[in-house]
Chain A
Amino acid sequence: MIQPRVAVLRFPGSNDDRDAVWALGALGADARLVWHAEEELPEGTAAVVLPGGFSYGDYLRCGALARSANVMDAVRAFAADGGPVLGICNGFQILCEAGLLPGVLRRNRDLEFVCRDVAVRVERAGTLLTSRCADGQLLTIPVKHGEGCWYADEELVEELEAAGQIVLRYAEDCNGSVRDVAGVCNETGNVFGLMPHPEHAVDPLLGPADGALLLAALVDAARERALAAA
Chain B
Amino acid sequence: MLVRPKAGILDPEGEAVRGSLRKLGFGVGGARVGRLVDLEVDAATPQEARAQVERMCQQLLANPLVESFEIEIEGDAA
Contact = CB atoms under 8 A, between A and B. Distances in A.
Interface of A: 60-61, 64, 67-68, 97, 103-104, 106-111, 151-153, 176
28 contacts: A60-B60, A60-B61, A61-B63, A64-B60, A64-B63, A67-B60, A68-B60, A97-B63, A103-B65, A104-B63, A104-B65, A104-B66, A106-B66, A107-B12, A107-B13, A108-B12, A109-B10, A109-B12, A111-B12, A111-B13, A111-B16, A151-B9, A151-B65, A151-B66, A152-B65, A153-B65, A176-B10, A176-B12
Interface residues of B, number: 10
Interface in B29-69: 60-61, 63, 65-66
B58 to A, nearest CB: 11
A110 B12 contact: yes
A152 B46 CA distance: 34
A181 to B, nearest CB: 14
A12 to B, nearest CB: 17
A48 B52 CA distance: 34
Given A60-B61, A104-B63, 15 more contacts: A60-B60, A64-B60, A104-B66, A106-B66, A107-B12, A107-B13, A109-B10, A109-B12, A110-B12, A111-B13, A151-B9, A151-B65, A151-B66, A152-B65, A153-B65
A104 B10 CA distance: 13
Nearest to B33: A107
A107 B61 CA distance: 17
Interface string B8-19: 011011001000
Interface of B: 9-10, 12-13, 16, 60-61, 63, 65-66
Contacts of B12: 107-111, 176
A64 B37 CA distance: 15
A94 B10 CA distance: 21
Contacts of B61: 60
Contacts of A176: 10, 12
Contacts of B13: 107, 111
Contacts of B9: 151
A152 B65 CA distance: 7
Contacts of A107: 12-13
A9 B9 CA distance: 32
Contacts of A110: 12
Contacts of B16: 111
Contacts of B60: 60, 64, 67-68
A145 B40 CA distance: 34
Q: Pick the most buried of B13, B16, B63: most chain A CB atoms within 10 A of its CB.
A: B63
Contacts of A151: 9, 65-66
